[in-house]
Amino acid sequence: MGAKIAISEELDLNEVVCQRVNYLMFLNRPLSQRELAMMLGMSASKFNQKMKRVSRWSLEEISAIADTFEVSADWLMGRVALEADAPIAQRQSYGLLIRRS
């Protein structure tokens, strides 16, 4: 019975991460999935599988995304409200929006 709960929570986590990644990509348009995949050191195909919910995000990948966009892993995993730690529109030389300190 406990395994079913863990699987359900894991699927929910994966969905939240995908939604937050989509949000970050929207804020950083015209950043493409291919470009973000390259920045994260993964193939476009692997990234696409994760965004289509075919495979799950690893903690290392979640950490890399959080570092890339300068958001917390908690925010990326939905443990913090979208508005609470969302990045603010401030472009850097690498073209990504980051959160102001």
The enclosing domain of 26 has a CATH number of 1.10.260.40
Q: Give the range of the structural domain holding residue 70, as residue numbers without chain letter.
A: 2-98
pLDDT band for position 66 (cuts 50, 70, 90): very high
Number of domains in the chain: 1
Q: What is the mean pLDDT of the chain?
A: 79
Place of tokens 């990644």: 21
Dihedral pair phi/psi, residue 5, rounded to 5°: -65, -45
Dist CA 99 CA 101 (whole Å): 6
The answer on pLDDT for 38 being more than 60 is: yes
